[in-house]
Amino acid sequence: MALRQIRLKNDPILRKKSREVEKIDDRIKQIVEDMFETMYENKGIGLACVQVGMLKRIVVIDMQDEDGQMVLINPKIIQKSDEKQINVEGCLSIPGENGYVERPKTVTVEYTDLNGNIQQKTASDYKAHCFCHELDHLDGVLYTDKVLNLSEEEIERLNNEK
């Protein structure tokens, strides 16, 4: 295992589109291990491969919940609710900042796991935010592109209207 360096906000690689993983070999498994180690070291709950400098469509997530460690290879959102939610997001590539972002309340993601099996996972609330945030990274999108410029009162009101 090895810690990898996290790429920060102005690094141009964060704006590039990651490429599909074609074969899950030992090298990919090593990268996944390193991603988890790097994520835990930096107290994150999700990390996309591009954040450690490789343009591969791999995301790791661990929200310390019943799902435990999740490895999502070539993930795609295949369904999302019309209902939206607003939550605070931060990003290991943008340390010390956060902002309100609107995301679907529920999303279903299809992905390949580390054993090469196709899986589907439906998540709501903050986990749906996490999935959307990490999958955006694979297309070069940062949460700061979507931050709402609203006061706390306005956000409270919007979330209560739903």
Residues known to be catalytic: 134
> According to the binding rule CB under 5 A, does residue 132 interact with Zn ion?
no
| Helix ranges, the chain (H) | 26-41, 125-137, 152-161
Q: Tell me which residue of 130, 137, 133, 134 sits closest to 17, measured CA to CA.
A: 137
> According to the binding rule CB under 5 A, does residue 50 interact with Zn ion?
no
User: What is the identity of the amino acid at 64?
Assistant: Q
If you ran DSSP here, which 8-state letter would residue 78 be given?
Answer: E
Q: Residue 128 Cβ, how far from Zn ion at the closest point, in Å? A: 15
Q: Residue 145 Cβ, how far from Zn ion at the closest point, in Å? A: 11
Stretch that binds Zn ion, among 11-19, 26-34, 57-65, 87-95 (CB under 5 A): 87-95
> According to the binding rule CB under 5 A, does residue 14 interact with Zn ion?
no
Among 14, 49, 91, 135, contact with Zn ion (rule: CB under 5 A): 91
Distance separating alpha carbons of residues 28 and 31, to the nearest angstrom: 5
Q: Residue 87 Cβ, how far from Zn ion at the closest point, in Å? A: 14
Q: How many residues bind Zn ion (CB under 5 A)?
A: 1
User: What is the identity of the amino acid at 13?
Assistant: I
Positive or negative: CA dihedral 70, 75, 81, 86: positive
For Zn ion, the closer of residues 24 and 34 by Cβ is: 34
> According to the binding rule CB under 5 A, does residue 47 interact with Zn ion?
no
Q: Tell me which residue of 52, 50, 71 sits closest to 5, measured CA to CA.
A: 52
> According to the binding rule CB under 5 A, does residue 138 interact with Zn ion?
no
Q: How many helices (H) and strands (E) does the chain have?
A: 3, 7
Q: Residue 93 Cβ, how far from Zn ion at the closest point, in Å? A: 6
Stretch that binds Zn ion, among 59-67, 83-91, 107-115, 121-129 (CB under 5 A): 83-91
Q: Which residues would be at the binding site for Zn ion (CB under 5 A)?
A: 91
